[in-house]
Structure 1
Amino acid sequence: MNQLLNLRAQVVKTLLSVQQGQSLSTILHQQLDQIAPKDRALFHELVLGTLRQWFSLKALTLPLLSKPLDNPTVESCLYVGLYQILCTRIAPHAAISETVTATKQLGFPALSGVVNAILRRATRETEQFQQTLNQTHGLPSWLYKRLKKDWPEQLESLCQALKQSAAITLRVNQRKIGRDAYLTKLEDTDVQAQACPYADAGVFLKQSVQIPELVGFSQGWFSVQDQHAQLSASLLPNLDGKTVIDACAAPGGKTAHLLEKFKPSLLIALDQDEKRLNRVTENLQRLDLNSDHVQIMAADATTWQATRMVDCIVLDAPCSAIGVLRRHPDIRLLRQASDIAETVALQKQILQNMWQQLKVGGTLLYITCSILKAENEQQMIEFFAEHPEAQEEKIIADWGIPQTHGRQLLPLDQQGDGFYYCRIKKIA
C-alpha cells in the first residue's frame, strides 16, 4: 500500500497513528524505513513540524470551515498542507498539489476540493494566516490553563518557545577528550558549534547534522544530551567508591554521565522497560565506559529493594514530559489532563520506596523534565512535610528559577529543555 501513497499521505498516516494514541518514538523508525532515503528529512520535518503547530493550525482552520469536518484524515491533510505553506520554503503549488493528491489517495476524493480551496486561500493571504498562527498559544486547553496558573509571567514566551524546535546538544565524554579539544575537531570538520554556558561538558551544534557522521561518534567521544539534563552530574557529591542508584535510568544518558565523571564502586541502573535498558548497555559500550561496576536491572522502582543501603540516588522521575515538548511534539496530542494526577501519585510511590534505601548522610537528587508545579515544587513541599528526616540542600546556581524547594529551568530559548532539580539529604 505504502508504495502507492505519496509522501504527504505517508505523513498523514503517521499523524493518524499519533492521534490514535501511538507515541512517535515507537513508530517513527519503522515509518522512516518505508520512505525513500532522499525524502526522509522532509518526512521528518513535516511530521514533527505539523505536530508542533497542531493546535495553532486547528485554531486557524476552524473559522475557515462552514461546518466541522469530523474527519481526522482530511483534517490532518489540511494541517500538513497549511504547515507547508506557512512554515516551510516548499513551493506553494507543490504543497497544494501533493496534499490534494494525498487526500484522494487516502480515500476522500470528495473532500479534496475543500482542502484545495483552503490551501489556495492560504497562498493568497499568507501574511494574515501566518499572523493568526503566531498569535495562537498552540497548546491543548488543559495545558494552557495549567501553565497560566503555574507561570503567569512567562506564559506568552513559553507558548511561543514550545512551538519551536530545540537545539541539538552534545555531552563530551571527558574520559576520552576534553571539550575544547573536541570543539577544535568539530571546527576542523567544518561543523559549527559552541560551548554551553552552564554544562561543563556541553556543546551546542549550530547546524543540522547526521549524529553518527560526527567526528568521534564510533570512538565514544560524545553523547547527545540536552544542556539542562547534563546539569544533574554537577549537583551530586563526589561519588568515587560509593554505591549509587540511577532510578528510571533508560535510555542511559545520566548513567553514562555518572561514569564519565565518577568511579562509583557500584552503580545500579534501574528501569522497568527492558527494551529501553538495551540502549543503556549499547551507550556504555560505545562510550567505552567500564561497566564492571554497573548492574543494569529491569525492575519496578515503586517496589524494588536494594540488598544494601546506598549512598546516592539519582531519581529522574516519570513525568508528563511537558519540558521536552519541543523534542517530542506528539506529547501535545497524547497527554491528557487526567494523566497528571496519576503521574504525581506514581512519582510519590517511587520517592517513598527509594528514600527508604538511602543511608543517613546520603543524597537523593529528584529530577523531572516537566514544568508543571504539581510534579515538581508541589511534590517536594509534600515530601518535606512528610519526612522530617529529609533536608533540602539548596542548589546555588546561575541558572533556573528558585522554587520553594528546588530549581526550575524553563524551555524558553535554545539553551535547553524544561527541567526541575531538587537535592535532598537524609539527616536521620
Structure 2
Amino acid sequence: MASISTLDRTDSVAGAGRVKKSIRAHAAEVIDALQNQQSNLDALLRKHSVHLNPNDKKLLQSICYGICREWFHLEAIESQLLDKPLKARDQILSAIVRCGIFELGWMGSKEHAVVSEYVDVTVTEGRPWARGLVNAVLRQFIRKKSELKMERHSAQTLWNHPQWLIDAIQQSWPDHWERVLVENNVHPPMTLRVNRQKLDRDAYIETLTTQGIEAASGSAPDSVRLAKPVPVQSLEGFAEGFVSVQDESSQWASIILNPQDHERILDACAAPGGKTCHLLEMSDSQVIALDVSEQRLSRIKENLVRLGLRAELIAADASHTESWWDQHAFDAVLLDLPCSATGVIRRHPDVRLMRSETSLRSLIGMQTMILDATWDTLKIGGRLLVTTCSILPQENQHQIRKFLERHADARLTTIDGIPGLDTLYGTQHLPTHAGGDGFFYALLVKSEPTNNGVSA
C-alpha cells in the first residue's frame, strides 16, 4: 500500500517491535473516543500528540476539529454509504470512514493516498478483515462526492448541531438563532490582550503592522483582533509578558468588575487564568485564584510567571467554602460558572457532542450550589460578577432571577457600555464573526439586610 512519509510516526520510541502508527490512525482513535464520549477533544489531542512534530500536530488537529464541525453531516453520509450499520464493537471503523470522508471531501487531500492510508489503519486497529469495506466506501464517496456533500435532509445535517440544541437556541434567540448556528461552525478569531502595565494598545498594533501582521482594536479596551491567527510564540513581546491570548468577551469580565487597588478579590473557577491576570494588570489588588483542578491551576501559574504577576492559588471546590475560605470577606468576586460552553462551540466544536439536556440539568444544579456558596464569602457592599460562556437562558438570566429570589440582600446592577443584549437579569453577548465569543454577565451587589431579612 502507498503511504506518505510525513504521516508515518512511531507511536512510541521505546521498544524495537512497536507498530508504527500514522497520523490518520491517531485521528481515527480520537474520533472513536469522541463517539464514545470518553474524553473531550483537547484532552484527546494532547494525549495523541505527545510524540508528534509540530506539522503533524497541526494536521491531526485540522482533521479532528474539522470532523467535529461537520459531525452530523458526516454521520449522514456514512449511513448512506454503508449497506448496514456497523456492530458496536467495530465503531472504530466508523471513525476511520468519517476521517477518510472528511479528508476527501473537505481537505482536498490526494485521493489515492487517503484511501490507501485509511485502509492500512484498519490493520493498525485490529480489523484487517475490513480493508475491503473501507476501500469500497471511500471510493464510492469519491464517485458521489459532489452529490453527497450537497445533500442535507435534516436540520441536524444542515446546521451540524444536535436537534435539542438547535431547538434550544431557536427558542432562546428567535431573531438571532441562524447567525449563532453559522458562527458556531466557523473558525474563531484570534484575539490578544495587551498588558496595560507595560504598553499601550495602539502602540502594539503599530508594532504588529510593521511586522506584516494585520491587526485592529477590539471592543474591549485592551483587546486586539488579528485578521489571521499566528503562532503565539512568534508574537512580539509575548514571552516578556507584553501580550496574552484572550477572547474579548472574556476580557470584558475584568473590565465590568473594575478592580481597585488594595481590594481583596476572589477569582472563582479561575483556570486557565486569563481573568486572574487581567485583574492584576488593571490594579494593585490581592487576587485569590480558585479552581477545582490542581492541574489547571498550573496553567495559571505559568501565565503569572510570564507576566510577572502574583496571586494566591488554591485548588478546591468553590461550593465547599469550609475547605478553602479563611472567613475574611472579599471586596469583589469574579465567578465564571461551569456551564454548557454553548457560547464557545466555534473554539470547542466537540461541545455539540459532549452536551445533552441531561448534562445541562446537572450543570444548572452545580451552578446554583457555587453561586450560593460564593455569595457568603462577599462583604456587605461588595460586588459579585457572574459570567458564563453559555448562550442558554437556563444557565444565565433564569439562574440569576432565581438567585435574586433566594437572596434578599442581593441587588442586580445595570452594566453599561458593553456589547450585548439586555436580558433584564444580565447582558448576553452572542458570538460574532470578527468579535467575541458567546458570553453572559450579571453584576450583583450585596446590601445590608434588615432585621426581618429584607435588604435595606
Aligned twin of 2:30? 14
| Equivalent position to 2:45, from 13, 28, 39 | 28
- Note the alpha carbon deviations across 1:171-201, whole angstroms, 9 max, x for none: 11111121111112222222222221x1111
CA contact (8 A) 1:245 1:310 kept: yes
Residue in 2 that maps onto 1:132: 151
1:112 aligned partner: 131
C-alpha separation between the residues in 2 aligned to 1:145 and 1:182?
Answer: 43
Further displaced range: 143-152 or 300-309: 143-152
Cα distance change, pair 57–153 in 1 and its aligned pair in 2 (3 A): farther
Secondary structure of 2:206 counterpart: helix
Q: Which runs of 5+ in 2 are unaligned?
A: 1-9, 12-18, 449-456
Q: Distance in 1 between matches of 2:406 and 2:20?
A: 60
Answer yes or no: is the 8 Å Cα contact 1:410–1:418 preserved in 2. Answer: yes
After superposition, give the CA deviation of every residue in 1:86-109 in whole Å (9 maximum; x if it has no partner): 222323333333223323432333
Question: Are the equivalent residues in 1 in contact too, given 2:189–2:229 (CA < 8 A)?
Answer: no
Determine if the alignment matches structure 1 residue 65 to structure 2 residue 53: no
Choose from 39, 55, 59 the match for 2:56: 39
* 1:191 pairs with 2:213: yes
Pick one of 120, 123, 132 that aligns with 2:142: 123
Matches within 5 A, 1:183-332: 183-196=205-218, 198-264=219-285, 266-289=286-309, 291=310, 294-304=311-321, 305-332=325-352
Match of 1:396 in 2: 416
Once the two structures are TM-superposed, the CA of residue 51 in structure 1 deviates from its matched residue by: 1.7
Aligned to 1:151: 173
1:86-105 to structure 2, matched below 5 A, reads 86-105=105-124
Cα pair 1:56 1:139 within 8 Å, conserved? no
SS, match of residue 324 in structure 1: coil
For the pair 1:368 / 2:388, whether they are aligned, the reply is yes
Q: 1:366 to 1:39 in 2, by over 3 A?
A: same
Aligned residues of 1:249 and 1:316 also touching (Cα < 8 A) = yes
* Paired amino acid for 1:178: D
Unaligned runs of 5+ in 1: none
Counterpart contact for 1:170–1:223, Cα < 8 Å: yes
Q: Does 1:416 align with 2:436?
A: yes
TM-superposed CA distance for 1:376, in Å, is 0.6
CA contact (8 A) 2:76 2:157 kept: no
Q: Structure 1 CA distance, aligned partners of 2:255 and 2:52?
A: 41
Does the residue aligned with 1:136 lie in a helix, a strand or coil?
helix
CA offsets 1:343-396 (integer angstroms, 9 cap, x no match): 111111111111122122211100001111111111011011222221111122
Counterpart of 1:98 in structure 2: which amino acid?
Answer: E
- Kindly state the Cα deviation for residue 244 of structure 1 after the two structures are TM-superposed: 0.9
Inter-partner Cα distance in structure 1 for 2:116 and 2:431: 36
2:355 to 335, 339, 342: 335
Range with bigger deviation, 32-41 or 159-168: 32-41
Q: Report how far residue 33 of structure 1 moved.
A: 2.3
8 Å contact 1:86–1:129 — kept in the other structure?
A: no
* Structure-1 residue corresponding to 2:6: none
Distance 1:232 1:159, change over 3 A: same
Residue 42 of structure 1 aligns to which amino acid in structure 2? L
Cα RMSD (Å) of the superposition? 2.0
Contact kept in structure 1, 2:81 and 2:141, CA below 8 Å: no
Match of 1:76 among 95, 98, 101: 95
Kept in 1, the 8 Å contact 2:273–2:303? The answer is: yes
Deviations 1:228-280 (A, max 9, x none): 1111122123422211111111111100000111111x211111111111111
Q: Relative to structure 2, which stretch is displaced further, 52-61 or 349-358?
A: 52-61
Return the TM-score normalized by structure 2.
0.87
Q: Which residue among 374, 382, 388 is the counterpart of 1:354?
A: 374
1:412 to partner: Cα distance: 4.0
Counterpart CA distance in 2 for 1:263 and 1:45 is: 41
Task: Tell me the distance in 2 between the aligned counterparts of 1:193 and 1:281.
Answer: 28
| Separation in 2, partners of 1:326, 1:178 | 30
Q: Give the aligned residue type for 1:22.
A: S
- What is the aligned length? 423
Q: Cα distance, 1:323 vs. partner?
A: 1.4
User: Equivalent residue for 1:176?
Assistant: 198
Greater Cα offset, 149-158 or 226-235: 149-158
